[in-house]
Amino acid sequence: MKFNQGVDKILSVLTAIALIVMMLHVVAHALLRYFFNSPIYGTNEIVAYWYLPMIALLGIPAAQLQKEHITVSLVIERMSHGTAAFFKVFAFALSALVSIGFAWFGFEEALENMEMGSTAGVTDIITWPVYFLVPLVFVVLAILFIVDIVVTLRTGDPEIDLLTGEHAEHDIEETVI
């Protein structure tokens, strides 16, 4: 649980920093453009190729840690804990494999963009370093899926919250017929 809490804190801090820096950058850009007719060079490209990918990509493993991904649990909720745990372990394993595939493909793309020295279109702002965030995020996500597998196998409960160690609560209330 400490590992998950540490990863959650790191992801939250990095995402918050990226969001705050992006907002300050955009506000400074607008103020400089309005008052001094001197906008910050490449603001649109920096926002589109640096800040937004950071915020979006770091949110994926953070959502997994906090059990905030959308799931369709209509069938799983009707199963016994053992059967539900089996299907969850299968889903986590498949998700880990897909994440590793995305990481591998993303790493190849990042290397290709690094070799090309890719930039943000018509500007000379470099963008290739951001491409390395894709494999990093998906490796972290694969590790989180593996941790989910281990926790599910140890507890037999497929709905353990990795941050608190307790059964995860869902927003939808069950209705008894």
Residues 6+ apart with CB under 8 A from 35: none
> CA–CA separation, 13 vs 151, rounded Å?
25
Domain boundaries, the chain: 2-155
pLDDT value for 162: 61
User: ∠ CA(132), CA(142), CA(90), 5° rounding?
Assistant: 150
- Mean pLDDT of all residues in 4-19: 89
Can you give the pTM of this predicted structure? 0.82
- For residue 67, CA distances in Å to 107, 144, 145 come to 26, 11, 11
Q: Looking at the predicted structure, is the pLDDT value of residue 141 above 90?
A: yes
Q: Residue type at 148?
A: D
Q: What is the pLDDT of residues 65-121, one digit of tens each?
A: 887 777 767 777 778 878 888 988 999 999 999 999 999 999 999 999 999 999 988
Question: Does 44 or 80 have the greater pLDDT score?
Answer: 44
pLDDT value for 119: 92
Q: Encoding tokens for residue 86?
A: 């089996």
- CB 145 within 8 Å of CB 92: yes
Which percentage of the chain shows pLDDT scores above 90? Answer: 59
Whose structure tokens read 């069938």? Answer: 75
- CB 7 within 8 Å of CB 140: yes
